[in-house]
């Protein structure tokens, strides 16, 4: 097992969604080999197009050197050259040093992926899960390598990584993941023990749950809730803007899971509120429309804090 980050050269990202793409680009732009695996060839092709487009834009290209357009393009080309995309698990996992699972928050599906790659990846491969709200102990048995397994949670559009071990994680694995995070230019914060939602999402879920409760109960529109939060806390987006960032389908899965575990009627009502958006294909930033429309959401309009939502074109599903 690698205790030295210099041993981690080949990274397998299982899942070609928005966060998987972000992880792969972050890995590749720092000179490591990144392989993106997805069972869906169409999703895989979309991931490849998105990754290749992403490295042509700042900060991935120009900020890496800050000199000429030609040099920036060379960096982008080199980054793309270290990325592979495949729907063949045997190809994806054959020589991986680090596996980062980044698939939907479904326990059974995650277990299947870990079981599959436990038979393919070399014995030294470190396994990690990018789960947002679940805990590594829920999947550890499926990995076949409990001492080499932990949660490695990338925050969307952020250089923060949360590392969360389970009780059987080898300290050397934690050290290797901390060094890996440093190698790709991210700040790693390590949890002392398991916690559903890690650090950021534990706090964020409470905010989102409160905001959803207000909207689902008709206390105020989601625009007004966001407007109140932005003005009071001096941030650039409110809880519904954050939900768009997370993905409304992901938020719905998390809310449904919480409703099932707790039996809360309010959480079920909150899930129903989200469901109406998901049913209309409004998934958030990932597909350009959620609570707001992208790339120019209403909350970025200077008028958002001074005019009603009808004046700037946002509203509830019809």
Q: What is the pLDDT of residues 80-104, one digit of tens each?
A: 667 999 999 999 999 999 999 999 8
pLDDT at 133 over 90: no
Of 24-33, 80-89, 149-158, 159-168, the range with the highest mean pLDDT is 159-168
Q: What is the pLDDT of residue 312?
A: 42
Tell me the C-alpha distance between 192 and 245, whole Å: 27
Lowest mean pLDDT among 61-75, 215-229, 246-260: 61-75
| pLDDT (average), residues 226-253 | 94
Confidence bin at 60 (pLDDT 50/70/90): very low
Reply yes or no on whether the pLDDT at 136 is more than 60: yes
Q: How many angstroms separate the CA atoms of 220 and 172, rounded?
A: 50
Q: Quick check: 98 and 126 in contact, CB under 8 A?
A: yes
- Bond into 299 cis (ω within 30): no
- 14 sits in the region (left: phi over 0; alpha: psi -120 to 50; else beta) called beta
Q: How far apart are CA 4 and CA 169, in angstroms?
A: 16
- What's the chain's length in residues? 318
The answer to whether domain 5-190 has CATH 3.40.50.720 is yes
User: Residue 187's pLDDT is what?
Assistant: 96
Q: What pLDDT is stored for residue 64 in this prediction?
A: 41
Q: Give pLDDT tens digits for 1-22.
A: 554 545 799 999 999 998 999 9
Lowest mean pLDDT among 63-72, 74-83, 98-107, 161-170: 63-72
pLDDT for 6 equals 59
129, β-bridge pairs: 101, 151
Average pLDDT of the chain is 88
Fold of 200-307: 1.10.1040
* Model pLDDT, residue 234: 95
pLDDT score at 80: 60
Percentages helix, strand, coil for the chain (3-state, rounded to 5) are 50, 15, 35
- Whether the per-residue pLDDT at 246 is higher than 70: the answer is yes
Cα angle value 271/290/157 (rounded, 5°): 100
pLDDT 10s digits, 292-311: 999 999 999 999 998 755 44
* Residue-level pLDDT at 77: 52
- pLDDT at residue 18, rounded to an integer: 87
Looking up tokens 């966001």, which residue turns up?
226
Mean pLDDT, residues 119-126: 97
| pLDDT attached to residue 250 | 87
**Contact criterion met (CB below 8 Å) for 235 and 229:** yes
Domain definitions of the chain by residue range? 5-190, 200-307
């Amino acid at each position: 097992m690698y205790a030295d980050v210099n041993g981690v050269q080949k990274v397998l990202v299982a899942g070609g969604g928005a966060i998987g793409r972000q992880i792969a680009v972050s890995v590749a732009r720092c000179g490591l080999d990144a392989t993106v695996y997805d069972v869906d060839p169409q999703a895989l092709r979309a991931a490849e197009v998105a990754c290749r487009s992403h490295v042509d834009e700042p900060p991935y290209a120009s900020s890496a050197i800050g000199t000429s357009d030609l040099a920036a393009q060379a960096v982008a080309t080199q980054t793309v050259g270290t990325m592979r995309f495949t729907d063949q698990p045997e190809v994806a996992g054959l020589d991986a040093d680090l596996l980062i699972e980044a698939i939907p928050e479904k326990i059974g599906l995650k277990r299947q992926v870990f079981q599959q790659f436990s038979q393919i990846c070399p014995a030294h491969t470190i396994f990690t899960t990018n789960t947002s709200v679940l805990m590594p102990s829920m999947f550890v048995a499926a990995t076949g390598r409990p001492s080499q397994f932990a949660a490695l949670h990338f925050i969307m559009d952020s250089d923060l990584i949360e590392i969360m071990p389970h009780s059987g994680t080898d300290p050397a694995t934690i050290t290797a993941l901390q060094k890996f995070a440093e190698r790709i230019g991210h700040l790693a914060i390590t949890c002392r023990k398991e916690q559903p939602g890690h650090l950021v999402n534990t706090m964020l879920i409470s905010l989102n749950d409160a905001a959803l409760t207000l909207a689902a109960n008709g206390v105020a529109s989601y625009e007004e809730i966001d407007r109140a939060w932005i003005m009071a806390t001096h941030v650039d987006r409110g809880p519904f803007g954050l939900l768009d960032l997370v993905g409304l389908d992901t938020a719905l899965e998390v809310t449904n899971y919480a409703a099932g575990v707790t039996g809360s009627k309010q959480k079920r009502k909150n899930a129903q509120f989200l469901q109406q958006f998901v049913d209309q294909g409004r998934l958030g930033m990932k597909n350009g429309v959620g609570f707001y429309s992208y790339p120019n959401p209403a909350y970025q309009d200077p008028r958002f804090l001074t005019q009603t939502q009808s004046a700037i074109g946002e509203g509830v599903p019809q």
